[in-house]
Homo-oligomer: A and B are copies of this chain.
Amino acid sequence: MTMNDYSFLTRKQQDVLDFLLENQSHFVQPPTLDELCLAMGLKSRGSLHKHIQGLIQAGLVEAPNRKQRGVRLTKLALKTQSAALIDDLGVPFVGAIAAGVPIEAVENVEYMQVPAQLKTENRCYILQVRGDSMIDDGILDGDWVVIEQRNHANNGDIVVALIDKTEATLKHILQTPRETILIPANQTLQPMHFQPHQVEVQGILVGQMRSYTKKL
């Protein structure tokens, strides 16, 4: 199984690279040529040496250093790996959403590590909830919600809706040909009725998170 496809690498170089990537860890000593030989089923260091040289030329393995031995991957190699395996970057936290106020964006976008279960295949982002309009659905003030970026929704979905291009809010949506209704999950609040063209779906709720120790 090749994890990365560097077409300019030979077959054996690929194999070596894959092995290094799989067994790489910050906390383990990089393997020596002999150990790599054993792992790859070679009997001579000399044979392996040529492949390593190729990987060094490709910038995927650190240039040898008389002082620091072992075959270690470069940052480049590690970077391309994480990009290939999972989106290791996480999900961007873009701001807070309060009923009736546009999304207040954060200046420096942070990325949060989100478990796979809380996101979808498609582009997602994170908002922090302000207010109690969804409290009956167990979405409290301060919760983070994972939103899948979309411009359409099904009836009953919880959506990020932009009203009249000015106000953003998190609500249940009910769309009919004549009107669009945004329904809070809070017995003290009333559903809001709009002309369909007034409401723009910006995403649907796919995940939610809460911290009981860090409040902000």
Contact = CB atoms under 8 A, between A and B. Distances in A.
A7 interface: yes
Contacts of A30: 7
Total copies of the chain: 2
A209 B138 contact: no
Contacts of A11: 29
Interface string A12-48: 0010000000000111011000000000000000000
Contact of A138 (B26, B113, B120, B135): B135
Q: Which 7 A-B pairs have the closest CB atoms?
A: A138-B138, A208-B210, A112-B115, A138-B140, A27-B84, A117-B211, A113-B115
Contacts of A9: 29
A187 interface: no
Contact of A211 (B27, B90, B207): B207
B209 A26 contact: no
Nearest to A214: B117
A138 to B, nearest CB: 4
B115 A209 contact: yes
A50 to B, nearest CB: 15
Given A113-B113, A113-B114, A115-B112, A5 B26 contact: yes
